[in-house]
């Protein structure tokens, strides 16, 4: 299970303020906390600082994060220009979050991807807007993977995101996403399946329980990577247990070691 | 989701001692705790007091449990004689835990079931011993449901238990059971699918996380009832979240109410 730590996101006021004032210490602390908690990538989103400032802010943020931790950054922006600036300063192989099937975005991002060879999150969204059901997600994924492979990206470097929407808006979304994950897993055996986990609980009270239960279910359906908060110890305990239950932890040694190291004491 | 509280089991020393000394207060406290926590049935197992004493002890225990709480009892015994004694004193409609495809047990229990009309847990075990994989479980379930329906039990009163074994013994059991649950759900749309949840974690440290994650996965696969410890508040929070995610909680009202009542504060 590949974990992308979500905490350095400018939608959080503390992060947006730190980005605006170029306070590296806040970002570096968040990066270290997540890396120590098991994150394989640190997501970094600076969109809320404003379109003009985003490219330079994102590039600055990536540098300070990489000064603090060894894990690569997941460059998170709706803005291809910001991604283009940011990827230039990234050391090692970045993950781009995200490309979609929206024609304008696709044509802006494909040359950047061809030049820098990052791994890519392919989000199931098109010019038709939010996908409605499972079938629409499969069709968008199909066309996105085709475009990316044609641009030279290996299927094993594509992270397909079925686009999780809030259950508070659509009561069927949980089942839709679980079915989509299972079908994507079957259709694209070499690709990764990822999701922005916490989207599921927007607008709900006590969001953590919905996030945690949904992660466990999605793992059983075939999810192999996730954008989430790895400092949630309860969620991580469930993730470690889920790997053992799904045959992803030989002789449960990882689970047993986690127990020994106190990671399951909550 | 139908919850069968597992705590009144003579494999626990405190329970076995209380049963031997006829200390009603221990059993009644355990019954109330579980009923208050949301149990729909109170499982009662007196097997460890010994074959001779079991029938009268089980009957006594059921009486004291029903003096304390309004929910029915799940009469849990490997011994048809004990079940025959116990069911006579049970008020209302009991649940029998369990009938198997073992010929001797089946022929002893079917007349008792015909006489008292209880609901029945049908455990996927036969004279061939523990089932190996998914297919064997399906075949046993098929023959058990057929026998029970022929004896007059409605399919909707049968709780099929695929027989959970410890992951410490068999690393594939998690995936086997999840597939069995999904296939049983499809094959027997009117029957319930149940499991003895905590069997999965026997022999492992920090068992709770395995139990909780497995419950969430099994619910997503189609489990609609479970034998477990409802006083585990973390597990219950995940269960409530899982119902919301699986479309079993219209407008998430049950989840939102649980949040308001502090059930999700942990």
Q: Over range B184-188, report the average pLDDT.
A: 98
Q: Is A123 exposed, middle or buried (0-12, 13-18, 19+ CB in 10 A)?
A: buried
Rounded to the nearest angstrom, the minimum Cα separation between A138 and chain B is 21
The dihedrals phi and psi of B197, each to the nearest 5 degrees, come to: -60, -50
Using one digit for the tens of pLDDT, what is the confidence trace for B38-55? 999 999 999 999 999 999
Return the pLDDT at B54: 98
Q: Looking at the complex, does the CB of residue B170 fall below 8 Å from at least one CB of chain A?
A: no
Average pLDDT, chain B: 97
Q: How far is CA B17 from the centre of its chain?
A: 23
Return the pLDDT at A260: 98
Return the pLDDT at B47: 98
- Mutation target vs B (from A170, A213, A256; most B CBs, 10 A cutoff): A213
Single out the residue of B82, B65, B54, B77 nearest to residue B23, CA to CA.
B65
Would you tell me which residues 221-250 of chain B have a C-beta closer than 8 angstroms to some C-beta of chain A?
221, 234, 237-238, 240-242, 244-247, 250
Would the CB atoms of B242 and A217 count as touching at under 8 Å?
A: yes
Q: Closest partner residue to A213 among B205, B210, B242, by Cβ?
A: B242
Q: Looking at the complex, does the CB of residue A129 fall below 8 Å from at least one CB of chain B?
A: no
Would the CB atoms of A175 and B264 count as touching at under 8 Å?
A: no
ipTM: 0.96
Q: Which residues of A touch B232 (CB under 8 A)?
A: none
Using one digit for the tens of pLDDT, what is the confidence trace for B82-112? 999 999 999 999 999 999 999 999 999 999 9
Under the banding of pLDDT at 50, 70 and 90, the label for residue B75 is very high
Would the CB atoms of A210 and B245 count as touching at under 8 Å?
A: yes
Nearest 5°: the CA angle B82, B86, B90 is 165
Q: Which neighbouring-strand residues pair with B193?
A: B160
Return the pLDDT at B92: 96
- Per-residue model confidence as pLDDT tens for chain A (266 residues): 999 999 999 999 999 999 999 999 999 999 999 999 999 999 999 999 999 999 999 999 999 999 999 999 999 999 999 999 999 999 999 999 999 999 999 999 999 999 999 999 999 999 999 999 999 999 999 999 999 999 999 999 999 999 999 999 999 999 999 999 999 999 999 999 999 999 999 999 999 999 999 999 999 999 999 999 999 999 999 999 999 999 999 999 999 999 999 999 98
Would the CB atoms of B265 and A216 count as touching at under 8 Å?
A: no
Q: Which residues of A touch B167 (CB under 8 A)?
A: 244-245, 252
Q: Which residues of A touch B237 (CB under 8 A)?
A: 206, 209
A127 and A121 in contact (C-beta within 8 Å)? no
Under the banding of pLDDT at 50, 70 and 90, the label for residue B248 is very high
Phi-psi region of B7 (alpha: psi -120 to 50; beta: other; left: phi over 0): alpha
Give me the residue spans of the domains in chain B. 2-207+222-228
Q: How far apart are CA B98 and CA B77, in angstroms?
A: 7
Q: Which residues of A touch B265 (CB under 8 A)?
A: 206
Residue A198: CA count within 13 A, CB half-sphere:
15
Return the pLDDT at B110: 96
Q: Closest partner residue to B237 among A209, A219, A252, by Cβ?
A: A209
Q: Closest partner residue to B252 among A204, A221, A246, by Cβ?
A: A204
The CATH number given to A2-207+222-228 is 3.20.20.20
- Mutation target vs A (from B168, B179, B198, B245; most A CBs, 10 A cutoff): B245
Q: Which residues of B touch A256 (CB under 8 A)?
A: 204-205
Q: Which residues of B touch A168 (CB under 8 A)?
A: 252
Rounded to the nearest angstrom, the minimum Cα separation between A33 and chain B is 22
Q: Closest partner residue to B175 among A172, A241, A246, by Cβ?
A: A246
The percent helix, strand, coil of chain B (3-state, each to 5) is 55, 15, 30
Using one digit for the tens of pLDDT, what is the confidence trace for B12-27? 999 999 999 999 999 9
Return the pLDDT at B163: 98
Q: Looking at the complex, does the CB of residue B217 fall below 8 Å from at least one CB of chain A?
A: yes
Q: Looking at the complex, does the CB of residue A188 fall below 8 Å from at least one CB of chain B?
A: no
Q: How far apart are CA A76 and CA A58, in angstroms?
A: 9
Return the pLDDT at B183: 98
Return the pLDDT at B249: 97
Residue of A nearest to B210 (CA): A241
Would the CB atoms of B242 and A212 count as touching at under 8 Å?
A: no
């Amino acid at each position: 299970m590949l974990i992308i730590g979500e905490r350095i996101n400018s939608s959080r006021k503390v992060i947006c303020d730190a980005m605006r004032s170029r306070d590296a210490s806040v970002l570096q602390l968040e990066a270290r906390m997540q890396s120590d908690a098991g994150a394989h990538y640190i997501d970094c989103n600076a969109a809320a600082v404003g379109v003009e400032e985003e490219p330079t802010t994102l590039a600055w943020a990536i540098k300070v994060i990489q000064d603090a931790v060894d894990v690569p950054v997941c460059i998170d922006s709706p803005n291809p220009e910001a991604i283009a600036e940011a990827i230039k300063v990234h050391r090692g192989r970045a993950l781009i979050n995200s490309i979609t099937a929206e024609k304008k975005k696709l044509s802006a991002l494909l040359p950047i991807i061809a030049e820098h060879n990052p791994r890519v999150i392919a989000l199931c969204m098109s010019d038709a807007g939010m996908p409605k059901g499972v079938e629409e997600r499969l069709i968008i994924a199909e066309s996105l993977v085709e475009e990316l492979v044609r641009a030279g990206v290996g299927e094993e470097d594509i992270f397909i995101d079925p686009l999780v929407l809030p259950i508070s808006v659509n009561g069927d979304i949980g089942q839709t996403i679980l079915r989509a994950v299972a079908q994507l897993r079957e259709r694209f055996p070499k690709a990764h399946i990822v999701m922005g986990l916490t989207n599921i609980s927007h607008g709900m009270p006590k969001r953590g329980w919905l996030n945690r239960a949904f992660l466990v279910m999605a793992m059983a359906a075939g999810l192999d990577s996730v954008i989430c908060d790895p400092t949630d110890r309860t969620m991580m305990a469930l993730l470690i247990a889920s790997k053992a239950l799904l045959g992803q932890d030989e002789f449960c040694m990882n689970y047993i070691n986690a127990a020994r190291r106190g990671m399951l004491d909550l």
